[in-house]
Structure 1
Amino acid sequence: MRALVLLGIVGFLAQLVDGSLGMAYGVTSTTLLLAIGTNPAAASATVHLSEIGTTLASGVSHWRFGNVDWKVVRRIALPGAVGAFAGATFLSWLSTEAAEPVMAGILLALGVYILVRFTLWGTPRGNLGKPLRKRFLAPLGLVAGFVDSTGGGGWGPVGTPALLASGRIEPRKVVGSIDTSEFVIALAASLGFLIGLGSENIDFAWVGVLLLGGLVAAPIAAWLVRHVPPRVLGSLVGGVIVLTNVRTILRSDWVAAPELAQNLAYLFIALVWAAAVAFSVRAHLAQRRLDAERPAAGSREAGGSDESEPVPS
């Protein structure tokens, strides 16, 4: 019972982050399931089955708040579904011993990317309003879908930063469009896992609890996306993913690092993580001050110009 309650809390927090940041539900939930010894393919299958409900609820919530660009959803969802089905089939074929460090490595890479991407660069806004073309969205969806299934998460970590980096649509619409299209990816991945694994290898009680937590968080996250700074949230989430998956890799049979080396690695990561979060907070506050000063400076310039010029007779 305690494990189910904890999973419900994880589902709530993971969806809260995912709906606000456009990523990390699958990565966060799968990381936890791996940490407690779940079969990698079963962990990814559990998460994707729960995502069918959470992404549907999240998509509806984002739609109601006006956070969805339907052209982007249409162009990225189908290639993403193809990649997700292929990735699920591939992961189901791997043995548990081979899959665990492989999945942890993928999750670690995604965690590092999230941490570095949001800490150093924030969310770019150039080229706003320019169209996103199919020749960009289709390959992006295919790769993101494959990574999502094999890594237990990755649709958001691959798709969201790529769309943000383009600077062509508003950050809130990037988050809403990625979350909405993920419903199709979750369906395709779940189908691939059910074919590859069979339903007997999936704990549907865990699926239900993760789903329940995510459903509660979905509307809150759709509202928070307008208020929570993505830069800070990205740094926080990236650090959690990096720390947890480094732990999995160091304890795996592939590495089997001694306890002292593990503890030193955890300490180093914790220090880097704390510095990254502090940097993101300072950068966010500096940007807020800059944004606040711009209109004030414009008003002063306009006022000074009016006073300095002679009034025509």
Structure 2
Amino acid sequence: MQSLPVLGWVALGLGALVVGLSKTAMPGANTIAVGLFAAVLPARASTGVLLVLLMVGDLFAVAAYRNNADWQVLRRLAPPVLVGLGTGTAFLAVAGDAAVRRAIGGILLALLVVTVVRRARTGRPDAAEVRTGRWRRRLAPGAYGTLGGFTTMVANAGGPVMSLYFLATRLPVLTFLGTAAWFFFAVNLTKVPFMVALGLVTPASLLLDLVLVPGVVVGALAGRRLAPRIPQALFDRLIIALTVVAAGYLLLG
């Protein structure tokens, strides 16, 4: 902590603030925090520090939407998510810091492309989606769950992946938010022993979390108030631009 420069502390504080906002007002914005933390801290260590902050944000999300979850959807996702978590744990156990940095950057860019493509298709008839109803019901939970488990274990970046799945199941807005809140609370809690075993959650990382938690709290509370006032178009452009910058830095830095 003593070796962090002032700009590093500013980036971490901004990342903590974004974590809180992502849980109550800006779903998917935590990809920005992923990039900021991995840019300032060693990439592997950043995943452990960020995990605890995400769990603090999860508490706010669960408190707000605790009665709106679709438990049938969550039950279908449980087995493949565990497979993804195990695969991600194995990758973290053997990958060096440079590999993790590039993996995080690549994941962020891939998720960004998927998000942009999905948004470009919004409102258009999708005959293929109609024809693949059975795939969504039977195979999609496995595909999305495994990828979501892997990305959240390696980079704490499973939010966009799982958002795509929750959208595909056509959950109503409140049910979407409640299901996502409980999903990430349970998944992040499950990740704790893996992270401890890998040496990524340590007394030192928890001390850093303690310093940054107020930023998460402020972000979460501000998000509850600001959500209705944020222009959607401006929000989308900011998320895309900042994610590109963060991913590019990780891939090329």
Do the structures match in fold with TM over 0.5? Answer: yes
Q: Which amino acid aligns with 1:247?
A: Y
2: distance between equivalents of 1:243 and 1:174?
A: 29
How many angstroms does 1:99 deviate by? 2.2
> 1:121-174 CA distances to partner (integer Å, 9 max, x unpaired)?
4488999xx9x8465334422220111122x132211010232144x2123432
May I ask how many residue pairs the two structures share in their alignment? Answer: 242
Which of these residues, 180, 183, 190, is aligned with residue 182 of structure 2?
180
Which of these residues, 35, 39, 43, is aligned with residue 31 of structure 1?
35
Verify: 1:236 aligned to 2:238, yes or no.
yes
1: distance between equivalents of 2:9 and 2:247?
A: 22
CA RMSD of aligned residues (A): 3.4
The match for 1:112 is: 113
> 1:43-91 CA distances to partner (integer Å, 9 max, x unpaired)?
111111222222122112122xx65333333433454244224313421
Which of these residues, 49, 54, 61, is aligned with residue 51 of structure 1?
54
The match for 2:20 is: 15
Larger Rg belongs to: 1
Structure 1: gaps spanning 5 or more residues: 252-313
Verify: 1:87 aligned to 2:91, yes or no.
no
> 1:4-25 CA distances to partner (integer Å, 9 max, x unpaired)?
4652332122331343343232
The answer to whether the 8 A contact 1:15-1:214 is kept is yes
Q: 1:13 to 1:99 in 2, by over 3 A?
A: closer
Which of these residues, 147, 152, 168, is aligned with residue 148 of structure 1?
152
Q: Which amino acid aligns with 2:214?
A: L
The answer to whether the 8 A contact 1:114-1:238 is kept is no
2: distance between equivalents of 1:169 and 1:245?
A: 30
The match for 2:140 is: 136
Verify: 1:69 aligned to 2:79, yes or no.
no
How many angstroms does 1:108 deviate by? 1.9
2: distance between equivalents of 1:217 and 1:138?
A: 33
1: distance between equivalents of 2:105 and 2:63?
A: 31
> 1:264-293 CA distances to partner (integer Å, 9 max, x unpaired)?
xxxxxxxxxxxxxxxxxxxxxxxxxxxxxx
Percent identical pairs in the alignment equals 23
The answer to whether the 8 A contact 1:149-1:189 is kept is yes
Matches within 5 A, 1:154-165: 154-165=157-168
Q: Which amino acid aligns with 1:145?
A: G
The answer to whether the 8 A contact 1:125-1:170 is kept is no
> 1:232-264 CA distances to partner (integer Å, 9 max, x unpaired)?
53442122111221133233xxxxxxxxxxxxx
Structure 2: gaps spanning 5 or more residues: none
- 2:198 aligns to what SS in structure 1? helix
The answer to whether the 8 A contact 1:21-1:175 is kept is no
- 2:25 aligns to what SS in structure 1? helix
The answer to whether the 8 A contact 1:53-1:211 is kept is yes
Q: 1:111 to 1:205 in 2, by over 3 A?
A: farther
> 1:10-41 CA distances to partner (integer Å, 9 max, x unpaired)?
2122331343343232x2222002222x2221
The answer to whether the 8 A contact 2:108-2:247 is kept is yes
- 1:197 aligns to what SS in structure 2? coil
Q: Which amino acid aligns with 2:33?
A: S
- 1:203 aligns to what SS in structure 2? helix
Higher relative contact order structure (alpha carbons within 8 Å, sequence separation ≥ 6): 2
Q: Which amino acid aligns with 1:8?
A: G
Please, what TM-score do these two structures have when normalized by structure 2? 0.77
Matches within 5 A, 1:124-273: 133=137, 135-150=139-154, 152-166=155-169, 168-197=170-199, 199-200=201-202, 203-221=205-223, 228=230, 232-251=234-253
Please, what TM-score do these two structures have when normalized by structure 1? 0.64
- 1:68 aligns to what SS in structure 2? coil
Q: 1:169 to 1:73 in 2, by over 3 A?
A: same
Q: Which amino acid aligns with 1:107?
A: L
